[in-house]
Chains A and B, each alone.
Chain A
């Protein structure tokens, strides 16, 4: 089945650091990628949607300059948390789907980000 690989699975860094998270579709072309944030015991909150070659569309309340998204190819999207602070600590999950009406969303295994 379709696989979405997310890296790293866990990252701990100091406040003020920028952190990059990679999301790759391993066996299909991901025309659309999604980035979610999940707080403990809560549902997934969509942060942004990106189509290959286009600028990402951010959900209301998500800072574009804080969470930089790049979807440069059909198999790779990156999320960069710039100048991260403790309140940015969370579980970030990427998702991807291919072209076409019947293509489901496939999710990565998430990245646990802890800012000290």
Chain B
């Protein structure tokens, strides 16, 4: 059962354009939604994260939009640069009553072309 669905699988964006990656979740008990950036041969690095009581969070060129009623959240990368080319994973965290579970989406490979 895939609890976090991510799309698209791959994305090609022109330099300076906006990259948009979407995720949908099923479990309303999730209480934290991080995005990770992974370069080839490296581990994932936390990029930005949001809690479900917030509709939007912006850090530099990266913005998370969160729609609690639709159970969807998305990552927007403004003014995309070739250095942003990487694989991006959304995730959802379930935390409480002694349990801790971080569920990843399947990833989106972003290519930013000059």
Contact = CB atoms under 8 A, between A and B. Distances in A.
B104 A43 contact: yes
Interface residues of A, number: 21
Chain B contact residues, majority secondary structure: strand
Interface string A72-116: 000000000000000000000101000001001111111010000
B100 A110 contact: no
Interface of A: 4, 6, 32, 34, 41-44, 46, 49, 93, 95, 101, 104-110, 112
Chain A contact residues, majority secondary structure: strand
Interface of B: 34, 36, 41-46, 49, 89, 95, 100, 102, 104-107, 109
Nearest to A111: B43
Given A101-B95, A105-B102, A110-B41, A43 B89 contact: yes
A69 to B, nearest CB: 17
Contacts of B46: 104-106
Given A101-B95, A104-B49, A105-B102, A44 B44 contact: yes
Contact of A112 (B41, B49, B105): B41
Q: Which 9 A-B pairs have the closest CB atoms?
A: A107-B43, A109-B43, A43-B104, A43-B106, A110-B43, A93-B43, A107-B44, A108-B43, A109-B42
B43 A6 contact: yes
Contact of B107 (A4, A6, A42): A42
A100 to B, nearest CB: 11
Contacts of A95: 43
B111 to A, nearest CB: 13
A103 to B, nearest CB: 10
